[in-house]
Structure 1
């Protein structure tokens, strides 16, 4: 099974922005931003592109594809 691992939290931490900055920019709750960082939920496509530009990375850098072994 393939899953996405979010790199958003790490990218925010190494940027000049805070999670609060993102919360205000996207008009989201702190819980939503936290969920983006943990991969429990995802930004919209438009938000992904804006977030990548804001964090000075490619959209592909926001997530890593992981393969989980199933029993």
Structure 2
């Protein structure tokens, strides 16, 4: 199983019309933390992923792309 989130975060944030900095401020996290998620260095905890989805207007299914093999 492979979970792809990094490209989805970048694309979904861009689609929302917000910048990564604006999203980070709304989430009350550092821009570096959000950048770590967007670059694939870290994955957000589920509670943070839910907040991210609410802010950028997407579902968890949109955020997480899971490939089973």
User: Which structure's CA Rg is the greater one?
Assistant: 1
More helix by share: 2
Give unmatched runs, 5+ long, in structure 2. none
What TM-score does the superposition give when structure 1 sets the normalisation length?
0.74
Structure with the larger strand share: 1
TM-score w.r.t. the length of structure 2 is: 0.76
Considering only aligned residues, what root-mean-square deviation do their CA atoms show, in Å? Answer: 1.8
Q: How does 1:1-71 map to 2 (within 5 A)?
A: 2-6=1-5, 7-66=8-67
